[in-house]
Amino acid sequence: MYDTGVGDEPSGDRRERTLGDADAGAAAGAHVAFDGVTAVCDGPPEQVRIDELTEQLRQVSAEVSARQAKMVELTAELARLERALPGVTLRQWMAMSVGLTAAEAARCARLAARLEALPGLSAAFAEGCVSEGIVDLCASVATPDNEDEVLNAARYASGAQLQTLVRAMKRVKRSERDAEPVPESVGTTIGDDGMWRLRATLSAERGAEVEA
């Protein structure tokens, strides 16, 4: 709620009345008086300041994320030139030449590799909508097929909720991988002793047939 305090009385009288009203209403809300104009914000002054700081932090966080996305973009281009680096890996070069820690360099290189296949997540990162940590978390489970769902979760879930979701998705992936049958194979070799040897990886059913 805003009370401009603007009327027909002289500016001096208006300023005196406005400041007096601000003092009298301090318990009801935060008042900011400047040149006869008073802004009255609902809530205690501490809460008003908390809201202001929170909004500023959101803006700075978005700016930081956008710059980090630019770093990842540049790292992806550098990765394509990795063979020309003087005897070091991309991560080592990033740590030495850009001043990153080993962990920071690893994350930047990891995101550069993963985000090339995830344009939606990459765009949200560049726009400052999601932080580098959130992007790294999402990229660990996102694929071109489920990218939209993962990105939607990142926009609306808290950090803790997103971590729980990602852990659950990883468990499902492990279960599916463990459930996949081991491919059967048969191979033969002739040893130095001239003996012919057979090597086979078979299902239990086929193994039983061979033994029979």
- 10-residue mean pLDDT series, the chain (212 residues): 46 43 47 48 82 95 97 97 94 95 95 96 96 95 94 90 92 76 71 75 67 62
Characterize 41-73 residue by residue with b for buried, 16 or more Cβ atoms within 10 angstroms of its Cβ, and e for exposed: beeeeeebeeeeeeeeeeeeeeeebeebbebbb
Whole-structure pTM value: 0.62
Per-residue pLDDT at 184: 72
- Find the angle CA(86)-CA(91)-CA(96) to the nearest 5 degrees: 65
Alpha carbon distances (Å) from 184 to 140, 178, 181, 196, 206: 30, 16, 9, 20, 10
Per-residue pLDDT at 180: 63
